[in-house]
Structure formats: structure tokens, C-alpha cells
Amino acid sequence: MHRSLATTANTDATRRAAELTNDSAPPVATGPRSTARGPNPEANARLTAATGIVLLVLLAAELATVIMGVPGHLSLHITLGALLVGPTMLKLASTGWRMVRYHRGTPAYVHRGAPIRPYASSVQCLPG
């Protein structure tokens, strides 16, 4: 009889420990938009592509001010030029991030493949 009480106590303690372990476990990544931390080359590719679209629109508008005549649209031309700085820096940073992660051997980025050559050479021209 003494032995069965000890076994029951052990079983209850094991069950409670298992419940605590399951409750405190970190969330498991279930898809491309999960909140799990770690290298995510797909998210980097989405960021780079979205930034490229923003740059394309802003550059087209900037070119339009040049075609229409800069003196007549100087304030718009300067404003668009200033707006181009942020997306340009973000594009360089996201491309540089991918290049650095690839060359440091991060498995997710190595599996994705080498960065496209023109992007890699555009980051190399930065002073530093």
C-alpha cells in the first residue's frame, strides 16, 4: 500500500512537470508569416521587392519633374529627391544584409543562393 502512494505521487509530479513544460514551450513556426525568430530570407526578399517598387514610383515621378522642366517644378523636384533617400538606404541595407548573411554562411541564406551580382556590386561602391 505504501508503494502505490509513492507511485501515484510520482505520476502526479511527472504529469505536472509535463504540463509546465508544454505551457512554457516557445511557439512553433507554422508558415511564412510566423512570429518565430531567426533568419528569414523570404521576408528579406519581400522587403527588398517592396522597396524596389517604391523606388520605381518615386524615380518615375522625379523623372517627370525633369521632363516637365525643373525650374517650374523645383519644390516638387526637391521634395521627391529628399523622399528618395530613405527607400534608397533601405534597399541598400536589405540587399547588403542578404549579401553579408550569405557570405557568413547562414544556412537559410546559403540555401537560397548567392545574391544577384548587380546588387552585390552596388553595395560595394559605398564608402566605408
First to last CA, the chain: 77
Instruction: Give the C-alpha distances (Å, rounded to integers) separating 21 from 24, 25, 37, 82, 107.
Output: 5, 6, 20, 52, 29
pTM given for the model: 0.59
84-105 pLDDT, tens per residue?
Answer: 999 999 999 998 888 888 888 8
C-alpha cell at 36: 518565430
Per DSSP, the three-state class of 128 is coil
76/64 Cα distance (integer angstroms): 10
Per DSSP, the three-state class of 25 is coil
42-99 pLDDT, tens per residue?
Answer: 999 999 999 999 999 999 999 999 999 888 889 999 999 999 999 999 999 998 888 8
